[in-house]
Amino acid sequence: MDHKTLLRLAKTHGTPLFVVDHKVLRENYLQFRKHMPRVQVYFAVKANSDPEIVKTFYEAGASFDVASVAEFLTVHALIKHLPAKQRQDFIWDKIIYANPIKAIETLQQLDPYKPLVTYDNHEEVVKIARYAPHSGLVLRLRVPNTGSMVELSSKFGALPGEAVDLIAFAHNNKLVVEGLSFHVGSQCTNPQNYVQALHLAASIFAEAKSRGFDLKLLDIGGGFPAHYDATVPAFKSLAKTINAELDRLFPAPIEILAEPGRFLVASAATAVAKIIGKAVRGGKLCYYLDDGVYHTFSGVIFDHCQYHLQSFKKAPTQLCSVFGPTCDALDTISLAEQLPDLDLGEYVFSENIGAYSAASSTSFNGFPPAKVIHLNQ
């Protein structure tokens, strides 16, 4: 993002700022579609649930993976202008409720929409059958998460050996299982996670068919890595590997879905913060910003992600510590940033911070979250 624009916005609106470039959102979406043309994109709203971001992806043609009623309603609000028939078809075409565990109240709210929902255990089937019997089901599988920045299989996913029995159990409860899903872990840089998961899913498709269950769709989840640095493999290469396995193992008319989140939004946002404090501790320069890990930099804690800071000033740098504005020592952005000698009131910025950042902001200590600025809408 242009540095002059960032400085102008900071001086105009104050800081902290979270600046979203919608041109980059659209470019990322088109890149995904270009390299994986068979796959329908279901944007993982949890990555950044800002309604303006959701609207941009909707207008670009995306569908959506939601994991709460609030996220569901954010997406559903976009259908008001559609004709009645399209509104009826909207949920199946545009939304998958991909949280395998749902509260009874959630199921009751979802049922009138005849939603597509995931599950991974017997208790969830019983609950869905009672409180959301109009749902279509997708069975989530447990798959390897080796090499992913955030693993998810310890919390969700049916074991392969119980998968077809869980499909049969759903059918016995008068529910229809439409297909399978999996998630290889967030920021997955190991292509073999996808390869192994696809082989596993293919074997379950075959076993299910042998027992009379004809599955129609496969949701290959998220995990597609954002290009934070040169160590991240090119998306084009990962897509080539996945496409080859999809075409070999899942011929048409099986529908393929994916739930990219980080890949679509990470590179589209930049945080701008102001230096509000400065000290030397143990011979090391320390900066204090008006943004921190309870706000835009929450990914340092929750997402195992390190967002590097840059200065608008061109000058020699030194090793610094950088802290957020709260009174909590946990509010540590970094203990190893290379920054120049800056004055109070000067600005720093952090790129590639669009995913799992502002989405987790709080008002801890009474400090408000960063103001969101949208560009190129």
Q: Which CATH superfamily, name and number, covers 22-265? A: Alanine racemase (3.20.20.10)
Whether the bond between 253 and the residue before it is cis, its omega within 30 degrees of 0, is: yes
Every domain of the chain and the residues it spans: 3-18+266-375, 22-265
What pLDDT band is residue 209 in, cutting at 50, 70 and 90?
A: very high
Which residues, in sequence order, are CB contacts of 174 under 8 Å at separation 6+? 129, 133
If 0-12 CB within 10 Å is exposed, 13-18 middle and 19+ buried, where does residue 195 land?
A: middle
Give 316-365 pLDDT, tens digit per residue: 999 999 999 999 999 999 999 999 999 999 999 999 999 999 888 999 99
Write down the pLDDT at residue 85: 67
Write down the pLDDT at residue 173: 98
Write down the pLDDT at residue 88: 63
Write down the pLDDT at residue 186: 79
Count the alpha carbons within 13 Å of 10 in the hemisphere toward its beta carbon: 21
Contact status, residue 172 vs residue 132, Cβ threshold 8 Å: no
Closest CA to 66 of 47, 52, 82, 81: 47
- Tokens 């589209």: give the residue: 268
DSSP-derived pairing of the beta strands 269-281 and 347-350: antiparallel
Contact status, residue 193 vs residue 145, Cβ threshold 8 Å: yes
Give 98-146 pLDDT, tens digit per residue: 999 999 999 999 999 999 999 999 999 999 999 999 999 999 999 866 5
Higher-confidence residue of 106 and 92: namely 106
Write down the pLDDT at residue 364: 93
Task: Please list the residues that pair with 323 across neighbouring strands.
Answer: 288, 332
Give 269-316 pLDDT, tens digit per residue: 999 999 999 999 999 999 999 999 999 999 998 888 889 999 999 999
- Runs of H (alpha helix) within 163-296: 163-172, 191-210, 235-249, 262-265
Contact status, residue 367 vs residue 323, Cβ threshold 8 Å: no
Contact status, residue 204 vs residue 160, Cβ threshold 8 Å: yes
Q: Which of 149-153, 170-174, 235-239 has the lowest average pLDDT?
A: 149-153
Distance CA 119, CA 160 (A): 14
Distance CA 332, CA 284 (A): 15
- Tokens 């320069």: give the residue: 285
Write down the pLDDT at residue 61: 93
Which residues, in sequence order, are CB contacts of 343 under 8 Å at separation 6+? 275, 278
Largest CA distance in the chain: 71
| Number of helices followed by number of strands (H, E) in the chain | 12, 18
Tell me the DSSP string of 99-118.
Answer: -S---HHHHHHHGGG--EEE
First to last CA, the chain: 15
153: pLDDT strictly greater than 70: no
Whether the bond between 251 and the residue before it is cis, its omega within 30 degrees of 0, is: no
Distance CA 51, CA 103 (A): 24
Give 170-187 pLDDT, tens digit per residue: 999 999 999 999 999 778
Distance CA 230, CA 211 (A): 47
Length, in residues, of the chain: 377
Write down the pLDDT at residue 359: 86
Which residues, in sequence order, are CB contacts of 86 under 8 Å at separation 6+? 79
Arithmetic mean of pLDDT over the chain: 93
- Residues belonging to the active site: 327
147: pLDDT strictly greater than 70: no
Write down the pLDDT at residue 193: 87
Distance CA 225, CA 243 (A): 16
Distance CA 303, CA 298 (A): 8
Distance CA 42, CA 373 (A): 24
Give 18-65 pLDDT, tens digit per residue: 999 999 999 999 999 999 999 999 999 999 999 999 999 999 999 999
Task: Please list the residues that pair with 310 across neighbouring strands.
Answer: 349
Give 256-269 pLDDT, tens digit per residue: 999 999 999 999 99
Write down the pLDDT at residue 115: 93
Write down the pLDDT at residue 83: 73
Q: What kind of architecture, by CATH, is found in domain 3-18+266-375?
A: Beta Barrel (2.40)
Of all residues in the chain, the percent with pLDDT exceeding 90 is: 81
Task: Please list the residues that pair with 43 across neighbouring strands.
Answer: 64
